[in-house]
Amino acid sequence: MMVFEFLDLKPRNPFLSLAIDEAACRFISRQPADGFCAGIRLWANPESVVLGRTCIPEHNLRLARSREDLMLSHRKARWTESTVVCRRASGGGTVLHGPGNLNYSLYLSLDRYPSLYPLSASYEALLGVVQRSLQAQGISCDRRGLSDLVLIGDDEGRVKKISGNAQFRKEHVLVFHGTLIARHDLIDRISEILRHPPREPEYRAGRNHYSFLGALPESFDLSAFYQCFAREFQTLLNVEHRMQLPLDCRRQIYSIARGLARSTYADPDWIWQARVRRGRSSTPSDTPMAAANRPS
């Protein structure tokens, strides 16, 4: 059994970026017994709003966007010129991707690791991978709610959220993905673009984005974080071999992802929630566990 590494830090079409997570999931589900049982991805997006599986755009965005805006953004490839709106397959709240944040994904076969099927067990184990990777740089963080990581933020002991995480399952593969706020200026953009969430975790206590969110210290070392992140995941799974994803395998994932981007992730009906409301989705969120994440 092997774990693949997929470094993907050049910002790309955000619809395709989201589709790659599901494509990697499908890729793992088709692996032979001695093939890849899990994977690691580190990635980036251009500035883009990413709605959770059931989030309603008008409840989350400060600037109203219409279905026609979404069609224009996709068909004219305007994701390089302006902030576009996307929807991911996992639950949880709406987030802003772009300069100043880091995205990561972990994939694992639930056939190989059935102990991680329960939602609470998988979050405890996988959030632990992120926590220990930050702690290796002296960045101590705690878990709050179902899937957030926080720093102690001020003299009053109030915590600041630096990471939100979510997951979905498809074809007996678990996809866990999350973000880290790496720069304080991202919080300015979040405050400009996103409304206060319709639902919030108890520990937020009504705080606005500026009071609630924090960022990693300037001393944060991305390369050191990734090396520790990969080792911690490999240790968790007790897998001896870890390798960069071979070119032919990468091409397989891209091919699957392009099809998913066309059929689902760049479809205005999916983004604008028409397919969600009509129940026509064929995304990973069809599994009961997939929508179990609370907004934060």
The count of C-alpha atoms lying within 13 angstroms of the C-alpha of 132, restricted to the half-sphere facing its C-beta, is 16
Q: What percent of the chain has pLDDT over 70?
A: 85
Give the pLDDT score at 69: 65
- pLDDT > 50? residue 282: no
Among 142-156, 225-239, 257-271, 279-293, the range scoring the smallest mean pLDDT is 279-293
The predicted structure's pLDDT at residue 10: 86
Query: Who's near 293: CB < 8 A, 6+ residues apart?
Result: 52, 90, 91, 92, 146, 147, 166, 167
* Residue 98: alpha-carbon gap to chain centroid: 13
What's the pLDDT at 16? 94
The closest of 285, 260, 239 to 31, measured between CA atoms, is 239
Q: How confident is the model at residue 280, as a pLDDT?
A: 44
Q: Is the pLDDT of residue 294 over 70?
A: no
Write out pLDDT tens, residues 150-199. Answer: 997 665 678 999 999 999 999 999 999 999 999 999 999 999 999 999 99
CA distance 258 to 279: 23
Lowest mean pLDDT among 26-40, 56-70, 90-104, 220-234: 56-70
pTM: 0.90
pLDDT of residue 82: 76
pLDDT by residue (tens digit) across 115-150? 999 999 999 999 999 999 999 999 999 999 999 999
Query: Residue 74 — very low, low, confident or very high, per pLDDT cuts 50/70/90?
Result: low
Is the per-residue pLDDT at 78 higher than 90? no
pLDDT of residue 112 exceeding 70:
yes
Mean pLDDT across the chain:
88
Q: Is the pLDDT of residue 246 over 60?
A: yes
The residue type found at 166 is A
Q: Where are the domains of the chain?
A: 2-291
Cβ(79)–Cβ(48) below 8 Å: yes
Distances (CA, A) of 137 to 9, 39, 133, 184, 228: 21, 23, 7, 19, 10
The CATH architecture annotation of domain 2-291 reads 2-Layer Sandwich (3.30)
What span, in angstroms and rounded, lies between the C-alpha atoms of 25 and 271?
21
Above 70 in pLDDT, residue 250? yes
Token pair of 9 as six digits: 């830090």
